[in-house]
A and B are shown apart, each in its own frame.
Chain A
């Protein structure tokens, strides 16, 4: 695999089996993402974007793929445990619905990836909370934060472990345009400043402005 490639996925197919019937979702997708690249995948709902992101994020295995390399590792043949460990070490997620744990504070949510890795986290959490301008809200539980603040917590959580790859699934889908702009600027800042590799899916073309590359997706395929 080329060292410069963060993602090398070739001929990726996936279908869901629903009540005994196969429902194909991805039809031979090829995707290469270079280290430090900001790629936006756009497409209508149901075109397979989230399925592709889940496969790239090692959250599910494709039904079939010629090649699936993520962060320099062959991810196709990994066990569930090995996928979890690779995910823990190399991938950060930002979800449309934030997906914060409601039972713990914003600070604990941000610290979670490092806690899971059993690494010291206090200084790093302070630093990243300051970067996303949430220091004074750190003790609050997610339910007490605005949606914009929650998404910034989610981004801080995704970035705290300095992941090789940041995957963002409609990160502005559940927030207003002002907060959406702030979130986008935050992601762009991480990309510019730290050279963060980002793959973001969205159906909002305004959010693709700062991307290095925009890929259109339709019916489980990339459009040329």
Chain B
């Protein structure tokens, strides 16, 4: 039966190839959209695990992917620090972060505003490859937080304020972003970022002062205080907090206590659950992408159905011959299913091949995107192709099986 099915398909190679290609494109669409979503989420979630903390405090209602607001006032941090038991405060460190946006490496990046003094908590075990984890910004922050420091008066020339702010305009980037680099307008080539490169952020030119190993929570860090100064005129608000707990405090217990204390204003989650939170935040986009790729697959398998139906119509006489030779209805249904399976499995193989090609292409064009083609995803694609192949063969197979042999033999 397999040989006969193969011979039938090879008799019209172009039609078979186009059908398999159609399935391949559908499978590719599914694999790339799922792989991109899962890869991006997994990569961000993994990077967040590098922060030396156990809990995250997030805005209660915000989507953690798209939020850039800073709803938490300074008092909120103090409130967190005040949660205590008999042994003292739960938190060894409360680590605020302030989110901004900038464009680097050919795409939008989330800018992590962090306190330079807390940068070691974000670096964890990862080392600085070049430069420093902030340079003059450390002195800028110290000066800013010194009550004796005087701000430039409101009527002072803009250049005075610029000079006041200038030491804080520093960026630390990760090595992956450094290597992706910027587009050189003169040569049209991408060149890696270097220490001293200037990047426009919120209307100000920031300097790259350090490069850290890839894998830290953000790809770009800036002094929290500088961002607040530019965005909020110095208002000490934060986008989120990490909490590094005292060694003897159970994270789950602490999370419950914090959640009870903070009420509806925030949600407290385990840092290890950040991947799940990202998935939840991404649920609607995921749903849309699943629906799109699912629809594309349905169209592909309808294409197989149409192909198989056309084959049945074109081979009516041959089906009559097979019936005359004693092939049963079940055998004909099986033949139809085998043919559809060959097309769909070949299509899946093509789809997987194109997906890896697309992953490579995306890696070249958009190096910061992560497409994660896991074994589970590839297995799922195989399963979809098998189930889709069988389903799309059922009706044409049924039609073939129902043909009257004598009538089929006289079919012109």
Q: Whole-angstrom distance between the alpha carbons of A108 and B11 in the complex? A: 15
Q: Whole-angstrom distance between the alpha carbons of A60 and B410 in the complex? A: 13
Is there a chain A Cβ closer than 8 Å to B313's Cβ? no
Is there a chain A Cβ closer than 8 Å to B317's Cβ? yes
26 A/B residue pairs, CB under 8 Å, sorted by A: A59-B324, A60-B406, A80-B329, A81-B328, A81-B329, A84-B323, A84-B326, A84-B328, A85-B326, A86-B326, A88-B326, A93-B325, A95-B324, A95-B409, A99-B320, A99-B321, A99-B409, A101-B322, A102-B11, A103-B4, A103-B10, A108-B4, A113-B325, A115-B3, A116-B331, A157-B325
List the B side residues contacting A104 at CB < 8 Å: 3-4, 7
B28 to chain A, nearest CB (A): 30
List the A side residues contacting B285 at CB < 8 Å: none
Q: Quick check: B330 and A81 within 8 Å, CB to CB?
A: yes
Is there a chain B Cβ closer than 8 Å to A43's Cβ? no
Interface flags, A116-130, vs B, CB<8A=1, else 0: 110000000000000
Other 5 A-B pairs with CB < 8 A, given A54-B406, A87-B324, A101-B7: A84-B327, A84-B329, A93-B325, A100-B321, A112-B322
Q: Quick check: A113 and B323 within 8 Å, CB to CB?
A: no
Is there a chain B Cβ closer than 8 Å to A48's Cβ? no
Q: Whole-angstrom distance between the alpha carbons of A191 and B329 in the complex? A: 32
Q: Whole-angstrom distance between the alpha carbons of A115 and B322 in the complex? A: 11
Q: Which residue of A lies closest to B323 (CB)?
A: A84
Q: Whole-angstrom distance between the alpha carbons of A108 and B321 in the complex? A: 14
List the B side residues contacting A102 at CB < 8 Å: 11, 318
Which residue of B323, B328, B331 has the most chain A CB atoms within 10 A of its CB atom?
A: B328
Interface residue SS majority, chain B: helix
Q: Quick check: A88 and B325 within 8 Å, CB to CB?
A: yes
Is there a chain B Cβ closer than 8 Å to A57's Cβ? yes
Interface flags, B1-13, vs A, CB<8A=1, else 0: 0011001101100
Is there a chain A Cβ closer than 8 Å to B405's Cβ? yes
Q: Quick check: B326 and A101 within 8 Å, CB to CB?
A: no
Q: Whole-angstrom distance between the alpha carbons of A30 and B405 in the complex? A: 24
Q: Whole-angstrom distance between the alpha carbons of A91 and B324 in the complex? A: 9
Is there a chain B Cβ closer than 8 Å to A11's Cβ? no
List the A side residues contacting B7 at CB < 8 Å: 101, 103-104, 108
B100 to chain A, nearest CB (A): 65
Is there a chain A Cβ closer than 8 Å to B235's Cβ? no
Is there a chain A Cβ closer than 8 Å to B404's Cβ? yes
A-contacting residues, B283-337, CB 8 Å = 317-318, 320-331
Q: Which residue of B lies closest to A86 (CB)?
A: B326
B180 to chain A, nearest CB (A): 53
Which residue of B318, B331, B405 has the most chain A CB atoms within 10 A of its CB atom?
A: B405
Q: Quick check: B8 and A116 within 8 Å, CB to CB?
A: no
Q: Quick check: B328 and A59 within 8 Å, CB to CB?
A: no
Q: Quick check: B321 and A59 within 8 Å, CB to CB?
A: no
Known contacts A99-B317, A101-B321, A85 near B328 by CB under 8 Å: yes
Q: Whole-angstrom distance between the alpha carbons of A113 and B323 in the complex? A: 11
Q: Whole-angstrom distance between the alpha carbons of A88 and B405 in the complex? A: 13
> Sorted from nearest, which 7 A-B pairs have the closest CB atoms?
A88-B326, A103-B11, A103-B7, A59-B406, A54-B406, A87-B326, A84-B328
Q: Quick check: B326 and A113 within 8 Å, CB to CB?
A: yes
Is there a chain B Cβ closer than 8 Å to A219's Cβ? no
Q: Determine the interface band of chain A, counting residues with CB < 8 A from chain B.
A: 20 to 34
Q: Which residue of B lies closest to A89 (CB)?
A: B326
A136 to chain B, nearest CB (A): 21
Q: Which residue of B lies closest to A91 (CB)?
A: B326
Q: Which residue of B lies closest to A92 (CB)?
A: B325
A199 to chain B, nearest CB (A): 15
Q: Which residue of B lies closest to A105 (CB)?
A: B7
B241 to chain A, nearest CB (A): 70
Which residue of B317, B325, B330 has the most chain A CB atoms within 10 A of its CB atom?
A: B325
Option from B3, B317, B325 in Cβ contact (under 8 Å) with A108: B3
List the A side residues contacting B405 at CB < 8 Å: 59-60
Q: Whole-angstrom distance between the alpha carbons of A103 and B10 in the complex? A: 8
B-contacting residues, A118-157, CB 8 Å = 157
Interface flags, B368-406, vs A, CB<8A=1, else 0: 000000000000000000000000000000000000111
Known contacts A60-B404, A80-B329, A81-B329, A103 near B8 by CB under 8 Å: yes
Q: Whole-angstrom distance between the alpha carbons of A89 and B328 in the complex? A: 12
List the A side residues contacting B321 at CB < 8 Å: 99-101
Q: Whole-angstrom distance between the alpha carbons of A103 and B11 in the complex? A: 6
Q: Quick check: B324 and A112 within 8 Å, CB to CB?
A: no
List the B side residues contacting A80 at CB < 8 Å: 328-329
A66 to chain B, nearest CB (A): 22
B31 to chain A, nearest CB (A): 33
Q: Whole-angstrom distance between the alpha carbons of A91 and B326 in the complex? A: 9
List the A side residues contacting B320 at CB < 8 Å: 99
Known contacts A59-B405, A81-B330, A104-B4, A99 near B11 by CB under 8 Å: no
List the A side residues contacting B3 at CB < 8 Å: 104, 108, 115
List the B side residues contacting A157 at CB < 8 Å: 325
List the B side residues contacting A108 at CB < 8 Å: 3-4, 7
B-contacting residues, A32-85, CB 8 Å = 54, 57, 59-60, 80-81, 84-85
Q: Quick check: A57 and B325 within 8 Å, CB to CB?
A: no
B349 to chain A, nearest CB (A): 23
Q: Which residue of A lies closest to B10 (CB)?
A: A103
B322 to chain A, nearest CB (A): 8
Known contacts A60-B404, A108-B7, A116 near B327 by CB under 8 Å: yes
Q: Quick check: B323 and A101 within 8 Å, CB to CB?
A: no
List the B side residues contacting A91 at CB < 8 Å: 326
B328 to chain A, nearest CB (A): 5
Q: Quick check: B329 and A112 within 8 Å, CB to CB?
A: no
A-contacting residues, B196-248, CB 8 Å = none
Q: Whole-angstrom distance between the alpha carbons of A132 and B4 in the complex? A: 24
Q: Whole-angstrom distance between the alpha carbons of A102 and B12 in the complex? A: 12
